[in-house]
Amino acid sequence: MIKQYANKAEHGYDWIDLTDPEDAELRDVAKNYNLHEALVHDCLQPGHLPKYESLEAYAFIISRVYTDIDMLEADTVQELTNKVAFFYADSFFITIHRKDQPFLNKLACLDRTKGLKNTHQLLNTVVRACLMTYEEPSNKLAKSIDYYEEQVFLNTRKIPLLKGLYYLRRKIDLLRRMLILSLDTIENIDDDRGNVNTRDTRDLYVKLTTIYDSLNDNINQLLTTYFSTSSQRTNETMRVLTIFSVFFMPLTFIVGIYGMNFKFMPELEHPLGYPLVLVVMAVITIGIYFWFKRKGWL
C-alpha cells in the first residue's frame, strides 16, 4: 500500500510511505527516484540488521522498531523488532515497512500541521520515534529482572529459573545489539549540520545505551548469583553427608570389631559385654554431638 504524506509542491519534498509493498509497487518507486537495486533488495529482507549507507544522491537507512509481543520465548531479531527502511535525500523521503507502523502515521499528521521544513528534520524526527520504541521494553525488562532477583535471593524453594533467565538475557542482549548497530545512523544525523533537535536524538540514544548496558550488567550479575545460590545449597547437602558419616563411621567400626570371629576375645564372653559396647557407642555419639554443636555444624 502506497501513501504520499508530503509532496514537493506543498512541502518542498516528497514523502512516500510503502506498507507491505508488492514487488511492482516497490520497483515503480525505485525507478521514479533512481534507487539502487541492491538497496531495494535489502528492503525486502525481513531480518536485515540496522545500517546506514551513504550514497552520492541519497542515503539508505535501516532501523528496527521494537514490537510489543507477549511471547515469553521471543528471542530473535524478527520476533522482537520490525524493520523500517528509509531512503533519504534533500528532495524526497521514502519509508518502507511490512507491518503498519502507527508512529509514522502520527508523524505524518504532525508533519502536515507543524510543517517540518526539510527532510533532515523529518529524518531526525522519524529516527527519534524509532528509538523511543526501545524505552518501554527497558522498563518491562527491568521489572522482569527485579522479579527473578527476588526469586533467586529470597525464595528457598527450587523453581527452575534458568530458562526464564535465558530468554530475558537474550531479549536484553538483542535490543542492546540493535542500539549498537544504530550508532552510525545517530552519528550521521547529529553531525555538523546538527541542531538542538538532533542533539536531543543523540541524548536519547546515549540514555538508552546506558539503560541497556545497565540491564546487561544486572542480568549477568543475576546469573552469577543464581549459580552461586544453587551451589550454596550443595553446602547444606555436604553438611548432612558429613554429619552422617562422622556419626556412623566409628559406630560401624566398633560393631565390626565385635563381629570378628576370633576364638579368644574375652569381651565376647563377658555377660556385660553387649550392654557395655552399647553404652560406649552412646557416649561416642553424644561426644560427636557436642563437638558438632561447638563447631556450629548442627
User: Which of the residues 127 through 166 are near a second copy (CB under 8 A)?
Assistant: 139, 142, 146, 149-150, 153-154, 157-158, 162-163, 165-166
- Name the binder of 132 from Mg ion, a second copy, none, CB < 5-8 A by kind: none
The residue among 69 and 253 lying less far from a second copy, judged by its C-beta, is 253
Minimum distance of a second copy from residue 51's CB (angstroms)? 9
The residue among 53 and 173 lying less far from Mg ion, judged by its C-beta, is 173
Q: Is 218 in the site for a second copy (CB under 8 A)?
A: yes
The helix (run of H) or strand (run of E) holding residue 201 is: helix 196-257
Q: How far is CA 286 from CA 13, 257, 258, in A?
A: 93, 20, 21
245 CB contacts (<8 Å, ≥6 apart)? none
The residue among 1 and 72 lying less far from a second copy, judged by its C-beta, is 72
Q: Is 3 in the site for a second copy (CB under 8 A)?
A: no
Q: Is 23 in the site for a second copy (CB under 8 A)?
A: no
Q: How far is CA 195 from CA 86, 124, 188, 199, 223, in A?
A: 21, 10, 12, 6, 42
The residue among 1 and 241 lying less far from a second copy, judged by its C-beta, is 241
- The single-letter code of the amino acid at 204 is L
Minimum distance of a second copy from residue 9's CB (angstroms)? 26
The residue among 19 and 197 lying less far from a second copy, judged by its C-beta, is 197
CB 138 within 8 A of CB 208: yes
Minimum distance of a second copy from residue 238's CB (angstroms)? 5
Minimum distance of a second copy from residue 252's CB (angstroms)? 5
Burial, 143: exposed, middle or buried (Cβ in 10 Å; 0-12, 13-18, 19+)?
Answer: exposed
Minimum distance of a second copy from residue 8's CB (angstroms)? 26
Q: Is 265 in the site for a second copy (CB under 8 A)?
A: yes
User: Which residues of this protein are in contact with Mg ion, per CB under 5 A?
Assistant: 173, 214, 216-218, 221, 224
- The single-letter code of the amino acid at 162 is L
Bridge partners, residue 94, by sequence: 16, 87
Q: 508523524: which residue's cell?
A: 107
Site for a second copy in 95-124 (CB under 8 A): 114
The residue among 95 and 169 lying less far from a second copy, judged by its C-beta, is 169
Q: Alpha-carbon distance 255 to 269, whole Å?
A: 16
The residue among 72 and 268 lying less far from a second copy, judged by its C-beta, is 268
Query: To the nearest 5 percent, what fractions of the chain are helix, strand and coil?
Result: 65, 10, 25
140 CB contacts (<8 Å, ≥6 apart)? none
Measured distance between the N- and C-terminal CA atoms of the chain, rounded to whole angstroms: 74
Minimum distance of a second copy from residue 116's CB (angstroms)? 13
Q: Alpha-carbon distance 50 to 274, whole Å?
A: 84
Q: Is 81 in the site for a second copy (CB under 8 A)?
A: no
Minimum distance of a second copy from residue 12's CB (angstroms)? 21
